[in-house]
Amino acid sequence: MKHNIVIDEKILCRKYYVDKKSIKEVAKTLGVSTGYLFNYMKDNGFEKRKPGEHNIGVTISEEHKRIISATHKGKVLSQETKDKISKAHFKGGIGQKKKRKDGYMAIYFPEHPQANSEGFIMEHHLVMECFIGRHLREDEVVHHINHIRDDNRLENLKLMTFTEHARLHMIERHQKLREEKEI
């Protein structure tokens, strides 16, 4: 079905390529539907912008991010959707590192028995496992001696049981409290 709608291609190009407006915004400017404009561009050989080009120069305020986050809270995602999101954010292969929000380094190693659902394992666990020549047991933890979570040099790591580790941190907390009282 052909329409007799005339599209001003100069406006289309300026708005879409120069001003980086979305197809929806350009369609509104031209007085046509988004679907019609999309098909028009596809049929007439207009190149799609590269991913991310539509947001050049646009920043989202923290308040706006909070609002967007609040609208998505509580939504249940299917496993298929979760997989798509994970793949969209994934940029590396085995050995790819990422720093977690809690400060620890994680390495992509999906074949590891302790890898999380995204395929990552904590870097300090891998370093210790390579050193001791076996996987960590369930009651073992790796302690960062200098308390810097992304410093995974072997000399900064100590293998401990969960109980020993909890006791060590309790002692350190009490020492810190005593020092604060003295000041």
What pLDDT, in 10s, does the model give residues 121-130? 999 999 999 9
The pLDDT tens digits of the residues spanning 35-87 come to 888 888 888 888 877 665 555 445 567 777 777 777 778 878 888 887 777 76
Question: Average pLDDT of the chain?
Answer: 84
Alpha-carbon span 31 to 27, nearest angstrom = 6
User: Are the C-beta atoms of residues 23 and 36 closer than 8 Å to each other?
Assistant: no
Q: So where are the chain's domains?
A: 9-50, 123-182
91 pLDDT exceeds 70?
no
pLDDT > 80? residue 179: yes
Across the range 126-135, mean pLDDT stands at 92
Give the chain's radius of gyration (CA, Å): 27
